[in-house]
Amino acid sequence: MESVVIEGVVTPGRRIGHTIGFPTANIPLQQGVCDKGVYRAEVKVEGIEQVFDAMSNVGCNPSVGGNELRLESHLLGFEGDLYGRRIWVRLVEKIRQEQKFATLDELRQQLERDREQIESRLR
């Protein structure tokens, strides 16, 4: 896959990722930007020199009844508020397809496995 860069301003979501330990920076998307799924990504935040490794999801959040296509990125090692800030997300490598999970705990467990897989590829 050729890497895709998506730029946008971070908008508030429903804060579900935050409640299960995976806060995300959310950007609304147009259909057809790229395949739905979970990606290893790199994120540049306007005004910050550091590029953050990230776990990003392109999809509609089927596990929590979502229907709006969005890009959600969990920046590894970042703490702070990104609402209203412009970010650039480079989708480096697709990890898996978007899935629907029966419970938030199942989703959280899969996100932990996804993060471990991404971190292992960074070493």
Long-range contacts made by residues 101-105, C-beta under 8 angstroms, separation at least 24? 101/63, 102/63, 104/16, 104/19, 104/20, 104/63, 104/64
CATH number of the structural domain spanning residue 38:
2.40.30.30
pLDDT score of 18: 85
With respect to residue 122, please indicate whether it lies within any of the assigned structural domains.
no
Question: Cα 84 vs. chain centroid, distance in angstroms?
Answer: 16
Residue 73 domain boundaries: 4-115
pLDDT score of 72: 95
Please count the structural domains in the chain: 1
With respect to residue 78, please indicate whether it lies within any of the assigned structural domains.
yes
pLDDT score of 2: 66
pLDDT score of 16: 84
pLDDT in tens, 35-65: 899 999 999 999 999 999 999 999 887 777 7
With respect to residue 121, please indicate whether it lies within any of the assigned structural domains.
no
The DSSP symbol for 50 reads P
With respect to residue 120, please indicate whether it lies within any of the assigned structural domains.
no
In this prediction, what percent of the chain has a pLDDT beyond 90? 68
Instruction: Measure Cα distances from 63 to 70, 79, 107 in Å.
Output: 14, 25, 8
60-85 mean pLDDT:
87
pTM of the model: 0.90
Three-state secondary structure call for residue 75: strand
Q: Which residues contact 98 (CB under 8 A, 6 or more apart)?
A: 36, 37, 38, 57, 58, 59, 60, 62
